[in-house]
Amino acid sequence: MSRLLKKLAWAVGLSATVLVAPLAQAQGYPNKPIRLICPFPPGGAVDIASRAIATELSKNLGQPVTVDNRPGAGGNIGGAEAARSAPDGYTLFMTTSGIQAINPALYAKMPFDPGKDLVPVAGLVSLNNVLVLHPSVKANSVAEVIAMAKAQPGAVNYASSGSGTSIHMSGEMFKHLAGLNIVHVPYKGSAPALNDLLGGQVMMMFDNIPSALPHIKSGRLRALATTGAKRDPLLPELPTVSEAGVTGYESGVWFGLAVAAGTPKEIIAKLNAEAVKGTKAPEFVKRMTELGYNILGTSPETMTEMSRNEVSRWGPIVKASGAKAD
């Protein structure tokens, strides 16, 4: 009997330890620096948002939050690394609607499952894209781009930040709805794609507004239309692609924080609270809105629903377009 009681006491103690451990871990969190994986190179819209929220999280959490750029495969390389990381809240991931919803439909073999291997923390920002051309391209409207592409099938090309990104799919939606044969040229991020566009190596791009805006203002790129349902407040003089004649066109992107599946709920709750607080900070709001981002600051549950909606929206479009990962 004594031996049995000892075993029972040991089992009860073990159970209590298992139950209390995550809570204790969360109460002491964070007690060391945190890494935020950005799955695209420095200089692009995802990187800009990553650095802005990292600054706010560093203040709110009392530990340094450093951005670690891991570009490639439309965000899949960084996503896979985040999914494999320890589920302890010390590795964050800046995911996008493209990674969550487009990549699974576009890539035959995904290195991770965004819906299962990553857990939402907070939706942060959203934005529209803008169709920009190198000044040497002889087209001053969406209609002229369409006419040029139809007159020279396969001769017109567009750059993207990688297969499966919103920039890529904005181009594929344009190609599909307008019935065009234009060539996709993928890069490992918006910044290198933009550099080649500025140099005239590629003809056009549906870039995120934040990274394209300085070059539009300087005259180094010609902007023709924005991709949202309504005109963008930062570029109100530009029509939407739909207004410009491509009926039914609407494309945008959102970014949000995620962590590896299995991360304690208490840690996720703390990260969400501090991230949402960060999206309301005056410096964050000023920088983001000046660059064309819309502030979100959602709960994990809302971000989950956002991902589901994107999967329903983009899956059929990817299939209809015939687009495949390069």
Domains and CATH numbers, the chain: 10-126+253-321 (3.40.190.150), 128-226 (3.40.190.10)
3-state secondary structure of 63: coil
Measure the CA–CA gap between 49 and 315, rounded to whole angstroms: 26
Q: How confident is the model at residue 7 (pLDDT cuts 50, 70, 90)?
A: low
Q: Which two tokens stand for residue 80?
A: 């896979």
Calculate the alpha carbon distances from 217 to 11, 153, 159, 204, 234 in Å: 68, 31, 20, 16, 11
DSSP 8-state class, residue 107 = -
The predicted model gives 87-114 an average pLDDT of 95
Instruction: Give the pLDDT score at 231.
Output: 94
How large a percentage of the chain has pLDDT more than 90? 78
Of the given ranges (11-15, 182-186, 266-270), which has the lowest mean pLDDT? 11-15
Measure the CA–CA gap between 282 and 288, rounded to whole angstroms: 10
Instruction: Give the pLDDT score at 314.
Output: 86
Pairing status of strand 91-96 against strand 252-260:
antiparallel
Of the given ranges (13-17, 73-77, 159-163, 172-176), which has the lowest mean pLDDT? 13-17
pLDDT tens for each residue of 36-75: 999 999 988 899 999 999 999 999 999 999 999 999 988 9
Q: How confident is the model at residue 237 (pLDDT cuts 50, 70, 90)?
A: very high
Instruction: Give the pLDDT score at 316.
Output: 84
Measure the CA–CA gap between 175 and 154, rounded to whole angstroms: 11
Q: For residue 97, which of 121, 69, 131, 126 has the smallest C-alpha distance?
A: 126
The predicted model gives 287-295 an average pLDDT of 92
Q: Which two tokens stand for residue 254?
A: 């959102």
DSSP 8-state class, residue 239 = P
Measure the CA–CA gap between 320 and 317, rounded to whole angstroms: 5
Q: How confident is the model at residue 4 (pLDDT cuts 50, 70, 90)?
A: low
Would you list the DSSP string of 267-312?
HHHHHHHHHHHHHTSHHHHHHHHHHTPEE----HHHHHHHHHHHHH
The residue whose two tokens read 């750059």 is 159
Residue 24 has pLDDT above 70, yes or no: no
Instruction: Give the pLDDT score at 182.
Output: 96
pLDDT tens for each residue of 302-323: 999 999 999 988 888 888 777 7
Measure the CA–CA gap between 128 and 45, rounded to whole angstroms: 11
Instruction: Give the pLDDT score at 10.
Output: 57
Of the given ranges (72-76, 141-145, 199-203), which has the lowest mean pLDDT? 72-76
**Mean pLDDT value across the chain:** 91
Residue 292 has pLDDT above 90, yes or no: no
Measure the CA–CA gap between 307 and 89, rounded to whole angstroms: 21
Number of residues assigned to the chain:
326
Please list, in sequence order, all residues whose beta carbon lies within 8 angstroms of the beta carbon of residue 28, skipping any fewer than 6 positions away: none
**Reported pTM:** 0.81
The predicted model gives 102-122 an average pLDDT of 95
pLDDT tens for each residue of 168-201: 999 999 999 999 999 999 998 888 999 999 999 9
Instruction: Give the pLDDT score at 116.
Output: 97
Q: Which two tokens stand for residue 285?
A: 């709001």
The predicted model gives 245-263 an average pLDDT of 95
38 and 70 Cβ atoms separated by less than 8 Å: yes
Phi-psi group of 111: left, alpha or beta (phi > 0 → left; psi -120 to 50 → alpha; rest → beta):
alpha
Measure the CA–CA gap between 25 and 53, rounded to whole angstroms: 23
Instruction: Give the pLDDT score at 313.
Output: 84
DSSP 8-state class, residue 240 = B
